[in-house]
Structure 1
Amino acid sequence: MRKGVFYAVGAYLAWGLLPLYWKVFQEMAAWEILAHRIVWSLVFVAVLLFVTKRWLQMRKAISTAKERGALLLCSLFISANWLIFIWAVNNGNVLETSLGYYINPLLNVLFGVLFLKERLGKGQWMAIALAAAGVSVMTAHYGRVPWVAISLALTFACYGLVKKLIKTDAIISLAWETLVVAPVALGYLVTLHVSGTDTLSHVTGWQIALLTLSGVATALPLFWFAQAAKLLPLSTVGFIQYLAPSISLFMAVFLFGETFGGVHLVSFGLIWSALFVYTVSSMRKKPGSAQQQVELAIKKEA
């Protein structure tokens, strides 16, 4: 249990601190950062698979056409999620990324109902209604849908839903997901360099070093989460997951100086209430319920 908590806290702490990491490359375009993240993630995961002699497991992971199709969709969804997150961080929208990852667990539940024929209790439906109200408040006030938050929650929920079709562990899955889009990412970086429009030549040495470590920053938290999921009850992992958006929220307000006014307080308050209602109602369900198994599968990230 103690080891599982350590892994879970490490994973969500790392994910919560990611805005600090991407802020280092603020002068780079989001597409360029994404391309580097994909390439260096593949390099790091390839080294891991080589050291652990697990290359043969990659072929077994996509033995059917259904799994190959699911893998392609996973690759597209997680790449879109990474791109939106990086763009949002470097354009002063960390607060909205936090909102997105607060919404995500509840959207996962809704997907379970829509696509996996799950049945929810009254408390869980109330939680979804409260979250919808929270998003509506912000939309009504600003006159626009908080698209960053919704896009992050939606792409990650779709990623988790499709990922259920791939029966493999997190690292091998990440290897395939990055391998699928790596040629495009590498081609994009080469094109930028040849045309002289890349920004890599204008950053410092320590920034380049950090950029090459983006693969480590991507894969290690994923591995820690996978380990935590094996060692901890679902309810414990579910509770710790709110650490990441909470860290991002506090950084947005107190470190990056983003505005957190009365409307934000009402909107976030409704969503926090939704998460509380959902957590309490879920804890009353039997530990082995299908709903909880679905939620655990959907939570597995990249």
Structure 2
Amino acid sequence: MTGRFTLTHRLPDGHFATTLRADVLAGLTATPKTLPPKWFYDARGDGLFEAITALPEYYLTRAEHGILARHAADIVRLTGARTLVELGSGASRKTRLLLDAFRAADRGAPERYVPVDVSASALRDAGERLCRAYPGLRVSGTVTDFETDPALPADAPGPRLVAFLGSTLGNLGPPQRAAFHAALRAELAPGDALLLGADLVKPVGELLPAYDDGEGVTAEFNRNVLHVLNRELDADFDPGSFDHRAVWDAEHERVEMRLRSRTAQTVKFPPLDLTVDFAAGEELRTETSAKFRRAGLTAELRRAGFAVRQWWTDREQRFAVALAVPD
């Protein structure tokens, strides 16, 4: 099993510390104040997000899982992939639906699975489990930031299927999405394909509860970014003095998660020689989650050189999985 699993590190030493400092300096001195959503995630944040995916209000994971369960065989047939690459793979749970479809098609698993994630421990755990479950599968984990480094292995057998699932695409703003699509397109060859998950525009009454559940799990997840900053940058946030908010931005068709300061307060970051003032009621934006329409996302992909060949949704038309190819 060990010989079928490899782990490659492509991030420079000190990457996370350097990036966190840069994000804090840029985001908390801006107006309005912002932080990227990637800083929600540490061991506690990972556990909270897993809990969120099981909540009745959080339809996204269930909807996408249902689409993949129904259409995995179609994806295998249409792509004929020999290498499966997954960006932001995490625990690789959804991957099993595709791997099982390869096995059911009497093709066995694809020759190679390339999970790409920033977490070495997640890649190691998932890779070793998959090697045990799928004899003959080679797993080549890659530790990198896929937003700036798609990390598609040139030596992997083609055709290659690149899966970017979940609603992570929505965390990127339009310029970031354009750059991401273009960088990915530059890496793909004829015969390769992109499998993309996207949350769809829907009534606000369905959207907002997914980001503001009745049990308060999402609120704790949102405030976890303050715990991360306290630990990593010796900040002195009082997480309990910030209220969680989920807001629908109709102009940009996106959900925003924010933390609202209950009182006027000052937060210190000694390693950065930085002091940040919050007015009473001032908000820190911690996440934007764009929601898509078929025409808009198809046009975005077309501008980057992709053609959408298939568009699958769940029965309630809440979530979509698109299969696109280099045009």
Going by fraction, where is strand more abundant, 1 or 2? 2
When Rg is computed on C-alpha atoms for both structures, the one with the higher figure is 2
If asked which structure has higher relative contact order (CA below 8 Å, sep 6+), I would say: 1
TM-score (norm 2): 0.27
TM-score (norm: length of structure 1)? 0.28
Higher helix share: 1
